[in-house]
DNA sequence: CGAGTATTTGATGCAGTTCAACGCTCGTGG
DNA sequence: CCACGAGCGTTGAACTGCATCAAATACTCG
């Protein structure tokens, strides 16, 4: 019924570390199905103990935390290949919510099989930990950005990050990429108000550095954008796919 | 020579998940020695590929990132029992620097043995991943705090977090705990200026909620502090010790 | 006792928030 | 087929929380 991992369209991408046939066979058993959700669907709720874990196959989404008064912090944007549910898998409770921004296809795993993965597939367990470490690393960089940089630099940092992520999974066409979020989402990810985010995006547009409209981000001057955002443009590291 | 893990003073604490004798034996082999450093010593540098990993045995330190212009974001404060070098262990490069704030004793491991840990001790590999997930969780909460809350709430959140961490490792005496950092360190962890941090701490003092002077933090009203900081006071979860 | 470091306090300015209003697009129902 | 409302982007104006500047106090240490 469900596509076996041998036929996974994502695995072909050169960004993802190749798997041995043993690993692919294991993942096929680990996988319990596929899930297609509409835009706007909540996938995981903060505090919930989800019995399912996912890998995003297509579409985009976002991770966020909600505060008591309704304010929202977007932690990260979800791209194809991203693993969803790490905290549920390990600690049994999610620290944030996840929702689909566009329609998405997800690969589904059983949480209860995670221990089996550690016991019988150390390579895959290592990969899982690697993903956790990368996410930790990203959040550290995001915290430094939100904590220390002024608005123009925050936006530039975020746009470079998004563009590099998109490049890694071949979602870019030249200097463009789909960016199907609202300005409010980006604002909430950077600790800025919607109004100020809008005005700062206008500045980047005027400066001929980057423009974002109708769900498409166009980078006119990546070097300059990276300079403003104080971020390196390094070749993407290959990363494991769960 | 070096203390075997069977005699580890930290393991006795009830906060740490008990280990089987197999696990203790493994850790003793994993351990290559102990390191004592003075206050102010850098332990790991951002970008470095450290061949050594550590577990803090005593003393306190901090993790931080430095930006081009010299600004600094403190990511977290290090308590006894904390594992240091996760990113070096997995990705081969640290995303942040670590330094000792007080004199510290550290348990030393060889980075090259990590793969062996995954292959032969899945329980310990799981524990390592658990620690990574907890750190990811913490950074998400910190990001939400810095991104969304005003100064008084940020400070309250941070003080509650610190106090609960200290309670977990039995470093509190009643409502007091040692907090051997500078106001600048706390300011850098919350994305606030030193001056504003100082003035906001004064407000908490006046309100009879918390006071911090001479390296000692005294919580006068934990409930109120937690209320202001919008944070739950839950019993500490037992966690693995590496 | 002078130099260096940390805390404290007052004064001033601005980056970013909040409030408000308008335009555009799209879906829905009369 | 048009009217209406909802959601999103855009822009102007006013306000404010926090940064920055400045300076005094206290403490430690060689």
pLDDT digits (tens, 9 = 90+) for A54-63: 999 999 999 9
B1: confidence class by pLDDT, cuts 50, 70, 90: low
Tell me: pLDDT of A154 over 70: yes
Tell me: pLDDT of A51 over 90: yes
Place of tokens 């450290």: B50
Dihedral sign of CA atoms A235, B98, A230, A163 in order: positive
A45: confidence class by pLDDT, cuts 50, 70, 90: very high
pLDDT of residue B5: 86
- What is the C-alpha separation between B232 and B242, in angstroms, rounded? 27
Tell me: pLDDT of A224 over 70: yes
- What is the C-alpha separation between B24 and B28, in angstroms, rounded? 6
% of chain A residues with pLDDT over 90: 93
- What is the pLDDT of chain A when averaged over all its residues? 96
Cβ of B184 near strand C (distance < 7 A): yes
Does A141 sit within 8 Å of B65, measured CB to CB? Answer: yes
pLDDT of residue A193: 98
% of chain A residues with pLDDT over 70: 99
**Residue A170 zone, left/alpha/beta (φ > 0; ψ -120 to 50; rest):** left
Strand C contact nucleotides, protein CB < 7 Å: 6-11, 15-20
DSSP 8-state code for residue B214:
T
Question: Which residues of A fall within a CB distance of 8 Å from B89?
Answer: 133
Strand D contact nucleotides, protein CB < 7 Å: 8-13, 17-22
Cβ of B196 near strand C (distance < 7 A): no
* List of domains in chain A: 5-142 (2.60.120.10), 151-229 (1.10.10.10)
Average of per-residue pLDDT across B34-61: 96
Average of per-residue pLDDT across B11-26: 93
Instruction: Output the pTM of the full model.
Output: 0.96
Question: Which residues of A fall within a CB distance of 8 Å from B143?
Answer: 73, 75, 139, 142-143, 146
CB within 7 A of strand D (chain B, 144-203): 150-152, 191-197
A144, closest residue in chain B (CA to CA) = B73
Average of per-residue pLDDT across A99-112: 97
pLDDT of residue A152: 98
- What is the C-alpha separation between B170 and A143, in angstroms, rounded? 29
A1: confidence class by pLDDT, cuts 50, 70, 90: low
- Spanning CA of A72 to C1' of D6, the rounded length in angstroms is 21
Average of per-residue pLDDT across B144-161: 98
Question: Which residues of A fall within a CB distance of 8 Å from B71?
Answer: 148-149
């Amino acid at each position: 019924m469900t596509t076996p991992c041998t036929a996974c369209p994502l695995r072909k991408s050169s960004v993802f570390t190749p798997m041995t046939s043993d690993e692919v066979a294991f993942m096929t058993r680990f996988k319990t199905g596929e899930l297609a959700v509409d835009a706007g669907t909540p996938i995981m709720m903060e505090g919930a103990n989800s019995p399912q874990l996912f890998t995003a196959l297509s579409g985009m989404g976002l991770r966020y935390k909600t505060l008591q008064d309704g304010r929202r912090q977007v932690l990260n944007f979800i791209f194809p290949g991203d693993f969803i549910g790490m905290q549920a898998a390990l600690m049994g409770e999610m620290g944030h919510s996840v929702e689909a921004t566009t329609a998405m296809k997800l690969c589904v795993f059983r949480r209860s099989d995670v221990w089996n993965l550690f016991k019988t597939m150390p390579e895959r367990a290592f990969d899982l930990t690697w993903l956790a470490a990368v996410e930790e690393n990203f959040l550290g960089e995001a915290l430094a950005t939100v904590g220390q940089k002024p608005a123009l630099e925050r936006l530039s940092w975020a746009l470079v990050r998004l563009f590099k992520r998109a490049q890694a999974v071949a979602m870019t066409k030249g200097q463009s990429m789909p960016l199907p979020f609202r300005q409010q989402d980006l604002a909430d990810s950077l600790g800025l108000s919607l109004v100020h985010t809008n005005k700062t995006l206008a500045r980047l547009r005027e400066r001929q550095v980057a423009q974002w409209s109708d769900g498409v981000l166009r980078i006119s001057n990546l070097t300059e954008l990276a300079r403003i955002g104080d971020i390196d443009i390094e070749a993407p590291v290959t990363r494991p796919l769960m």
